[in-house]
Amino acid sequence: MASSQVNKSASASASMKSIKPLKTINTGEIKCCDIKTNPEYGTKWSPITYIDDKQQLLLVAPNCTIKTCNTQDNKDKDNKDNKDKDNKNDKARPPQLFVGINDNQFKDEIKKLEAFIKNYSCHNSVKIFGEQFNEEEVNEMFKQTLLEHEKYGTAIGAKCSYGYNVISKTPAVEVPNDNTKWIDILTKSTKCDICFLIKQINVGVGKFSIGIEIKQINITEAPQANAEWMLFVITPDNYDPTKLIILLPEQHPKGGKFSKVQYDGKTTKFKIANANGRIFKNENPGQEPSYSISIRLDDPAMLELFKKVDVSIFNHLLSASKDFFGAKKTPKLLSAILKPVVSYNKADQDKIKKGEQPTYAPSIWIKLYNSVEKGFDNKLFDANKKTFINNDNIAEYINKNINLSVVEFYIRQIFSGPKGVSVSFVGNKLFINMEGNGEEPYDLDIGDDDIVNSVAKVAINSDEE
């Protein structure tokens, strides 16, 4: 693959009259045109041009991080306000991105642009708003372009323009020929340089803002293991059983009870590297299929960690059994209903009962989020094919040996129902290499399918809520 890859439709927009994207704006060259009005929809805007009336104001934000990417295809499709006269509503609507802004110069340029727009609007308030406003009133009406997000830091939300382009600057990401599939590669944690079009001043009732769209996205780095996620991950070296807390149970609206699990006041998160496993599909009559992955704990340190987690959960439930189960439980009674985190396949369970050594290392089971609408929500990535796994291609991976370079997952809840008590692990991000180590058989039967199925169904319901 070449050093950069662009979809062929990018050339279609090359003939447009536009300037080279800027990193620095000269506000003296900005022109805000006369107010335009669409009386049918009650919208008003002032187009923005640069240098002369035919050139667009394009500004580059390097080193952005995609946080979310949502398609607008199904949003308010029956709402006439979302239709336009150019029949763009008949095409696939471009996605809307929410991205983290890391470049300080871009932040400064946006602040400079905002100051110019507010000053211009104040001096031309009668033309723009229909009445005179002073500086304080204009500042009050103005909506900030950059958001200071509690979780993401400085960020911006913008929709992509019709005819937007996606270019890959890294061999780790291939751009699909079908532009309706571009959303599949614009995923969380992807690094990119973004060219923004400063399009217009949007004028509403008692408010106004800068209208910004995305013209081009240059992907510079494929999504990696989430750095934010890794800040609080539990490892064999840092695990402290006193920090693991099980919250009091809550009644699940669809039956049973569930309890959240926290570690040091946060989500109980884990990461396994270079692991072997298999993905399984669980089909239930009248329901959408569910998916889970069994990860073999070949690493002695990781196996010891999850044995310790098993002990912590058991001891916590035992000491507070009356709160969780409504009656005091002895160790024997709790052992009878609590499914351990670490499990062997059925054949090895029989060997252990006979005093023999198991053939394979034990496994841990992790639920994989899936829905008809979102598929696997870009949580499964094939590192060899450089593509995300979705509902269309998941069959290639079912019940096959796979190697995983990274598995990020967390404890969603402990579920208690008529079939028993089980810990529900859910995958956050999995990086898959197709071929696993060895060709040994991998047994799905872990000895109590009823509990597994029951917990899987409840976990799916919980995700949908």
pLDDT in tens, 304-317: 999 999 999 999 99
Q: Taking 60 as the threshold, does the pLDDT of residue 292 lie above it?
A: yes
Quote the CA–CA distance of 378 and 31 in Å, as a whole number. Answer: 41
Give the least confident one: 128-132, 381-385, 424-428. 381-385
Q: What is the pLDDT of residue 354?
A: 92
Quote the CA–CA distance of 326 and 322 in Å, as a whole number. Answer: 5
**pLDDT level of residue 456 (50, 70, 90 thresholds):** very low
* Most confident of the following: 104-118, 277-291, 451-465: 104-118
Give the least confident one: 72-76, 79-83, 252-256, 427-431. 79-83
Q: Taking 60 as the threshold, does the pLDDT of residue 438 lie above it?
A: no
Q: What is the pLDDT of residue 442?
A: 37
- CA atoms within a 13 Å half-sphere pointing along the CA-CB vector of 168: 21
Q: What is the pLDDT of residue 225?
A: 52
Phi-psi region of 79 (alpha: psi -120 to 50; beta: other; left: phi over 0): beta
Q: Do 409 and 425 contact (CB within 8 A), yes or no?
A: yes
Q: Taking 50 as the threshold, does the pLDDT of residue 136 lie above it?
A: yes
- Among the listed residues 357, 263, 270, the one whose alpha carbon sits nearest the alpha carbon of residue 306: 270
Sign of torsion, CA 98 102 105 108?
A: positive
Q: Taking 90 as the threshold, does the pLDDT of residue 86 lie above it?
A: no
Residues in the chain: 465
Residue 235, SS3 per DSSP: coil
Q: Do 123 and 129 contact (CB within 8 A), yes or no?
A: no
As separate numbers, helices (DSSP H) first and strands (DSSP E) second, the chain gives 9, 23
Is the entire prediction scored with pTM above 0.85? no
Q: Name, in order, each residue with C-beta under 8 angstroms of 43's C-beta and a sequence gap of 6 or more.
A: 37, 202
- Among the listed residues 223, 191, 266, the one whose alpha carbon sits nearest the alpha carbon of residue 429: 223
Quote the CA–CA distance of 366 and 349 in Å, as a whole number. Answer: 20
Q: Outline where DSSP puts E strands in 225-289.
A: 233-234, 244-246, 250-251, 257-259, 261-263, 266-267, 269-282
Q: Outline where DSSP puts E strands in 185-289.
A: 191-204, 207-221, 233-234, 244-246, 250-251, 257-259, 261-263, 266-267, 269-282
Q: Do 289 and 296 contact (CB within 8 A), yes or no?
A: no
Give the least confident one: 104-113, 133-142, 161-170, 192-201. 161-170
Q: Name, in order, each residue with C-beta under 8 angstroms of 207's C-beta and a sequence gap of 6 or more.
A: 141, 142, 143
Q: Do 224 and 261 contact (CB within 8 A), yes or no?
A: no
Q: What is the pLDDT of residue 434?
A: 63
- What percent of the chain shows pLDDT beyond 90? 48
Is the model more confident about 83 or about 399?
Answer: 399
Q: Taking 70 as the threshold, does the pLDDT of residue 462 lie above it?
A: no
Q: Taking 80 as the threshold, does the pLDDT of residue 328 lie above it?
A: yes
Quote the CA–CA distance of 284 and 282 in Å, as a whole number. Answer: 7
The pLDDT tens digits for 160-214 are: 998 898 988 887 777 777 766 777 778 777 899 999 999 999 999 899 999 999 9
**pLDDT level of residue 236 (50, 70, 90 thresholds):** very high
Q: Taking 60 as the threshold, does the pLDDT of residue 387 lie above it?
A: yes
Point out which residues pair with 278 in neighbouring strands. 294
- Among the listed residues 113, 114, 133, the one whose alpha carbon sits nearest the alpha carbon of residue 125: 133
Calculate the average pLDDT of the chain.
Answer: 81
Q: Taking 90 as the threshold, does the pLDDT of residue 379 lie above it?
A: no
Q: Where are the chain's structural domains?
A: 5-76+88-221, 227-464
Structure tokens at 143: 């909506």
Is the model more confident about 449 or about 115?
Answer: 115
Cα distances from 410 to residues 269, 385, 425, in angstroms, run: 4, 26, 6
Q: Taking 80 as the threshold, does the pLDDT of residue 298 lie above it?
A: yes
